[in-house]
Amino acid sequence: MDIALAIEKLVSGAKYRGSLTDNKETSFDKLVWEDTRKKPTWKELQAVDIKRDIEIDKRISEIKQKNENAIKEQAITELISEEKIKEEI
């Protein structure tokens, strides 16, 4: 999980100090929270991460479907062109 990204989703522009490079719960627990808003819990971060993964999977499926449809259309176009060439011969 990208902790910094999850924090940004929950508390946009949050102010805190500490390292999150290893993206571990222990690093999150050691953060010095300087924001006036409530520090999110680890479970809240995990929920955001799961939701993000679901959104990414959904977007990937949409892109794959669009690509598949475009490939099918291209194949049909090519087949029609080939049939026209065969008819001319």
Backbone angles phi, psi at 32, to 5 degrees: -95, 105
What average pLDDT is seen over the chain?
90
Give 19-41 pLDDT, tens digit per residue: 999 999 999 999 999 999 999 99
What are the tens digits of pLDDT across the range 38-65? 999 999 999 998 887 788 788 888 999 9
What angle do the packed helices 42-88 and 3-10 form, to 10 degrees?
A: 100
Contact 10, 45 (CB under 8 A): yes
What are the strands, taking DSSP E only, across the chain? Answer: 16-17, 32-33
